[in-house]
Chain A
Amino acid sequence: MNIHPDDRGYYGAFGGAWIPELLQANVSELEGSYRSIIASKGFQEEFRHLLKDYVGRPTPLFFAGNLSEHYGTRIYLKREDLCHTGAHKLNNVVGQALLARRMGKEHIVAETGAGQHGVATATVCALLRLPCTVFMGKKDMERQQLNVLRMRMLGAEVQEVTSGSQTLKDATNEAIRYWINHPLNTYYLIGSTIGPHPYPDLVASLQSVISREITTQLQEKENKEVPDYVVACVGGGSNAAGAFFHFIGNGVTRLIGAEAAGKGVQSGETAATITLGSEGVLHGTRTLIMQDDDGQISEAHSVSAGLDYPGIGPLHAWLSQSGKADYMAVTDKEALQAALRLTRLEGIIPALESAHALAILEKIRPDKQQVLVICLSGRGDKDMDTYQKYADRL
């Protein structure tokens, strides 16, 4: 199964590089070098080494016995929450930062929503001694304060974004504008499978380590290579792309993406892009987006800052349209309940984003013998405020 886009960056009708001439040189430079650099032996050795000893890979595939008993099936958790800095985001950042260095770039710019990508970027930039600037929406800085503190302690310059909805969408705009204004020595380190080609492919390839590990780990534990289900949350779609990667189109595995319904798909306060969205162009890619009749981008709403994005990576738009994966919407409340359930049953506090994937267990009915893998994309430390407020209301 070929899950790379075509030469022009398209997955079916989705993708491409819809960028102004001002960015063309930057993107062409990346496009022209990423495949050969990533395939090179030197890069692979460095990348594998850092994934193992710095990120802490392979992450465990944990058989969640109590959760399995509760749902009457066999549930495994892919523990991306145990990666250094607490989420899958670091896999991508390590890869792109090494790429940036090999391209001779001297400054890193990134956007962040929940702050997990920002923290991962600040972390690797400290390690590789690269100065970095992270754009973050004002609203997100307020609800993810801990991550703002972490980034600053790591030496990153955190820029508050006050335009638009003051969340991930606007932080992405500002990071791209910064890149336009500093074209020569700056590398834009995007945090998900979004943006112009080649970013979606680059990020999906770097995250594909998740499904590669699942394949070998399942072999050991279940004596099979492919699970019956893989479930992951989707913001821009990077942890889902990584968890699905080696299982796409295998004819066996049912792939399910959990998107954030916010207060409900029809509430007007939602981030359920695939359920509600229509085709359009946002941040340089042709994909499904939430927009009004006039083509203005809607503001997304979710209790989880990392899923608060009105678009979706073009890979997922294509997987959805071609029926190769299913996407379901999970409300704030369902996610909070699922987080609490996992915490009490397994002693693991998940990130709010990952809790959306866990909530899918309420919506499907697998058989007793079937094997499910849920991508636990991150841990919940950053979300304690929200959890506490929710617990107080119970």
Chain B
Amino acid sequence: MNSLLKTVQRTSGKILSVYYTAGFPKLEDTISDMQAMADKGVDFVELGMPFSDPLADGPVIQQASTQALANGMGLKRLFEQLKQFNGTLPLPVLLMGYLNPVLQYGPEQFCRDARQAGVAGLILPDVPFSEYNSLLKELMQRYGLHFVFLVTPTTPESRIREIDAVSTAFIYAVGASSTTGTRTAIEERAVFLRRLYQMKLKTPLITGFGINDQSSLGQAWKYTSGAITGTAYIRLRMMHDDPHKALDKLFQQLGIQPEKTI
């Protein structure tokens, strides 16, 4: 988890994180994709825990979730797969998903197993800030995990400040009110990111949702410490069996020079 902190606090910024869905396209790809991302110099990953009813996701990530579930992916299986790294993952990993599978697994057991697997933290978009304190805060502290909150252009400044106060790694800036993979008006996002920048928050910001080309990436890097791209990668992964190849294509699409990668 220290490596996640080091990464997001890097003063040079230009962080690139990639979201992918565990167990997609094949069950064992959880591991091969993670390895490929480490090989290619991705800074950290958001590992999606598939859910049957992913409210905040657009059609592409929905499809990946459905296929992963059909492949037999689930939390028990995921932690089983992560065991082969003996608690040291090849790059920092945040688990991202929806609350219900975590509730069913048992929040404490989940945190314990995540910690043991070497996971750095958690993103659960359907846990609102107001419920976080009673449900998860104490567990996050006990197991040394980061919890990452989302902010959007409609989040009131007062809540952004409260989120800033309790955040331990970074704040996830969503450029517009949209589900994942939706094209965002670049102007709208710029206005929001500029506003966040001017708030001088203590916590680093990373921008996600709708990062799919050079200009959206450039914008994220200009105003915040980094960018998270998901749908663009999943789309490419549907076309390429080899995750290295899909990542090369992704970098091309984002206009990242190959020197950036190892």
A69 CB, min distance to chain B CBs, angstroms: 47
CA of A177 to CA of B55, assembled, Å: 6
CA of A19 to CA of B125, assembled, Å: 7
Contact yes or no, A296 B69, CB < 8 A = yes
With contacts A22-B177, A180-B178, A294-B75 taken as known, whether A281 is within 8 angstroms of B126 at the C-beta atoms is yes
Contact yes or no, A8 B130, CB < 8 A = yes
Contact yes or no, A181 B178, CB < 8 A = yes
| A170, A281, A291, A295 interface centre (most CB from chain B within 10 Å) | A295
Residues of A within 8 A of B98 (CB): 281
Contact yes or no, B62 A25, CB < 8 A = no
Contact yes or no, B178 A279, CB < 8 A = no
Contact with B along A279-306 (1 / 0, CB 8 A): 1111110000101011111000000000
Partner of B179, one of A16, A21, A180: A180
Partner of A22, one of B66, B100, B102, B152: B152
Contact yes or no, B177 A181, CB < 8 A = yes
Contact with A along B134-168 (1 / 0, CB 8 A): 00000000000000011110111001000000000
Partner of B105, one of A17, A177, A284, A295: A295
Contact yes or no, B126 A284, CB < 8 A = yes
With contacts A169-B53, A180-B56 taken as known, whether A21 is within 8 angstroms of B103 at the C-beta atoms is no
Residues of A within 8 A of B152 (CB): 21-22, 24-25
CA of A283 to CA of B125, assembled, Å: 13
Which residues of chain B from 56 to 95 have a CB within 8 Å of any chain A CB?
56, 58-59, 62, 66, 69, 74-76
Contact yes or no, A181 B182, CB < 8 A = yes
CA of A19 to CA of B102, assembled, Å: 15
CA of A243 to CA of B228, assembled, Å: 49
Contact yes or no, A173 B53, CB < 8 A = yes
B12 on interface, CB distance cutoff 8 Å: no
A34 on interface, CB distance cutoff 8 Å: no
A33 CB, min distance to chain B CBs, angstroms: 16
CA of A249 to CA of B104, assembled, Å: 31
Residues of B within 8 A of A180 (CB): 55-56, 177-179
Contact yes or no, A20 B182, CB < 8 A = no
With contacts A173-B53, A180-B178, A294-B74 taken as known, whether A20 is within 8 angstroms of B100 at the C-beta atoms is no
Contact yes or no, A295 B102, CB < 8 A = yes
Partner of B103, one of A22, A173, A281, A296: A281
Residues of B within 8 A of A24 (CB): 128, 152, 154-155, 159
With contacts A282-B100, A295-B105, A297-B52 taken as known, whether A18 is within 8 angstroms of B127 at the C-beta atoms is yes
B36 on interface, CB distance cutoff 8 Å: no
Residues of A within 8 A of B129 (CB): 21
Residues of A within 8 A of B130 (CB): 8, 17
CA of A176 to CA of B62, assembled, Å: 14
| A16, A20, A21, A173 interface centre (most CB from chain B within 10 Å) | A21
| A20, A278, A280, A293 interface centre (most CB from chain B within 10 Å) | A20
CA of A20 to CA of B129, assembled, Å: 9
Contact yes or no, B155 A295, CB < 8 A = no
B192 on interface, CB distance cutoff 8 Å: no
A125 CB, min distance to chain B CBs, angstroms: 23
Contact yes or no, B53 A297, CB < 8 A = yes
Which residues of chain B from 22 to 69 have a CB within 8 Å of any chain A CB?
51-56, 58-59, 62, 66, 69
With contacts A180-B179, A181-B179 taken as known, whether A21 is within 8 angstroms of B155 at the C-beta atoms is yes
B190 on interface, CB distance cutoff 8 Å: no
Partner of B104, one of A16, A173, A177, A280: A280
A185 on interface, CB distance cutoff 8 Å: no
Contact yes or no, A18 B174, CB < 8 A = no
B56 CB, min distance to chain A CBs, angstroms: 5
Contact yes or no, A25 B155, CB < 8 A = yes
Contact yes or no, B150 A22, CB < 8 A = yes
| A8, A24, A170 interface centre (most CB from chain B within 10 Å) | A24
What 4 A-B pairs come out closest when comparing CB atoms? A295-B104, A295-B101, A25-B154, A294-B74
Inter-chain pairs besides A20-B125, A180-B55, 19 sampled, C-beta below 8 Å? A8-B130, A19-B126, A20-B55, A21-B151, A21-B152, A21-B155, A21-B174, A22-B125, A22-B177, A24-B155, A25-B152, A25-B155, A177-B179, A181-B179, A283-B53, A289-B100, A293-B104, A295-B51, A297-B53
Residues of B in contact with A (beta carbons under 8 Å apart): 51-56, 58-59, 62, 66, 69, 74-76, 98-105, 125-131, 149-152, 154-156, 159, 174, 177-179, 182
Could you write out 26 A-B pairs with CB less than 8 Å apart? A18-B99, A18-B126, A18-B131, A20-B126, A21-B128, A21-B149, A21-B174, A22-B150, A22-B174, A22-B177, A22-B178, A22-B179, A24-B154, A24-B159, A163-B66, A164-B66, A177-B56, A177-B58, A177-B179, A180-B55, A180-B178, A280-B104, A293-B104, A294-B74, A295-B75, A296-B74
